[in-house]
Structure 1
Amino acid sequence: MSLKILVTGTSRGIGSAILAALDRAGATVVGHGTASGIAADLADPAAPRDLWARAIDALGGDIDVLVNNAGVFEAAAIDLDHDDWVAGWERTMRINLTASAELCRLAVRHWQARGRGGRIVNIASRAAYRGDSPAHWHYAASKAGMVAMTKSIARAYSGEGILAFAICPGFTMTGMAEEYLASRGGDKLLADIPLGRVATPDEIAAIARFCALDAPESMTGAVLDANGASYVR
């Protein structure tokens, strides 16, 4: 029986690659944010619960794996008007962390009710450990929160068969990364990556597929880096 999986943020880049990788592996996958998937604006506080309910319905009443990939990377310079800076912080936290937390909670409660475990794969970022630009405090903080949340879930619920993994990509060649590389001077950024290039969405998708389908149970709580050795912990 194929696993039933919800992946958020599948309209492009890493999310689209994860959706394709899991589909090729034979899973039954529902995406969020694609024309054929479920539309939901995760900036809306009501959206995560509605997304979960519609995904459950689309997957016949059950979900085995949740992949939280949806996120935004929006600048909020320190010299912005104070209210605008706070609004940017709260929007990023709502989409990147709070919505993911709500979906994780709904998944854990679902698996507890059915009496059978499941898996969570959270796409965080190198920024969780290394930090980010002066205009992206909120992004780095949201991804650090995602890593801490993943570890907390793993520690709390592994005895119930509920496993949690986090992936921390560095720069990945998505549309979002392409814009940022161009704005920050691509050659300078690439010089900071010993591998000499940024990751591809397919590389991150391969790690996500492994965590979702094949990672041994004892790996729960693991954080996997994929940054070309630009930040080695």
Structure 2
Amino acid sequence: MPAHILVTGSTRGIGAAIVEALAAKGARVVGHGRSDGPGVIGADLSQPVAADGLWDRALEALDGRVDVLVNNAGVFEGVAVDAPADEWQAAWSRTLQINLQASADLCRRAVLHFREREGGGRIVNIASRAAYRGDSPAHWHYAASKAGMVGMTKSIARGYAREEILAFAVCPGFVMTGMADDYLASRGGDKLLADIPLGRVAMPDEIASIATYLALEAPPSMTGAVLDANGASFVR
């Protein structure tokens, strides 16, 4: 029986690569984006009720069964420390809502669903190197949101392992997506690359291979694991 999987932020970059990798393994995947499309459910995760609506629609599309949730959707939007207070707070609210709160809402629904059906399930959260290393002066909120995602993942793993509900996180460094391209260009690509011993940023298919392993193959004893993929730019 193929695994039924919901992947958020699936229309480009890491998310699209994850969907492709999971489908290649025979999984039945429903994706998520800003608007509806083939195999994609549209939902604006900046809105507080959107995550619950997305879960309900995904459950319907997958015939009432979700085996794996992959939280990949996120934003990386800077705000200066000396920005006006209203801009500062709006940036924090938006980033935390999309990157952390919506992920938490989906994790909650997944845990409740897994417990109700008594068959367990898996959660894979795509966090960031920033959760441990921090980020630029304009991205406190991004680092905080990803650190929260890691803490949430560990809490789920510890709280529900006996019910066969497993949780994992992946912490990429820079990945060659549109979002990373813009950041590399804005910060001086060569200088940033010099900080990566591997000499290059990760490719989306590399992160997808890790997420696919965690979603489908990782042994239950790995629950709570946080896997780094940053070219040795941060080793802990």
Q: Distance in 1 between matches of 2:118 and 2:174?
A: 39
Aligned to 1:31: 31
What is the number of residues matched between the two proteins? 233
After superposition, the CA RMSD in angstroms is: 0.5
Letter in 2 for 1:35: G
Secondary structure (helix, strand or coil) at the match of 1:205 reads: helix
Q: Partners of 2:140 and 2:155 in 1: how far apart?
A: 22
Alignment match, 1:108: 111
Matched residue, 2:133: 130
Distance 1:118 1:155 in 2: 14
**Correspondence 1:190 to 2:201:** no
Pick from 151, 170, 173 the counterpart of residue 170 of structure 1: 173
Supply the AA of the counterpart residue of 2:137: P
Equivalent position SS for 1:84: helix
- The alpha-carbon deviation at position 11 of structure 1 amounts to 1.1
Equivalent position to 1:70, from 56, 70, 73: 73
- Residue 118 of structure 1, CA deviation: 0.1
CA distance in 2, matches of 1:35, 1:5: 17
Q: Any unmatched runs of 5+ in structure 2?
A: none
TM-score, normalization by structure 1: 0.99
Establish whether residue 13 from structure 1 lines up as the match of residue 16 from structure 2.
Answer: no
Q: Distance in 2 between matches of 1:84 and 1:206?
A: 37
User: Aligned with 1:155: secondary structure?
Assistant: helix
* Structure 1 residue 38: Cα displacement: 0.1
Deviation by residue 1:196-218 (Cα, 9 ceiling, x = unmatched): 00000000000000000000000
1:149-164 matches, within 5 Å, as 149-164=152-167
Query: Partner letter of residue 232 of structure 2?
Result: A
Task: Describe the SS at the equivalent of 2:228.
Answer: strand
TM-score norm. by structure 2 comes to 0.98
Instruction: Indicate which of 199, 204, 212 corresponds to 1:201.
Output: 204
User: Which residue in the other structure is 1:231 paired with?
Assistant: 234
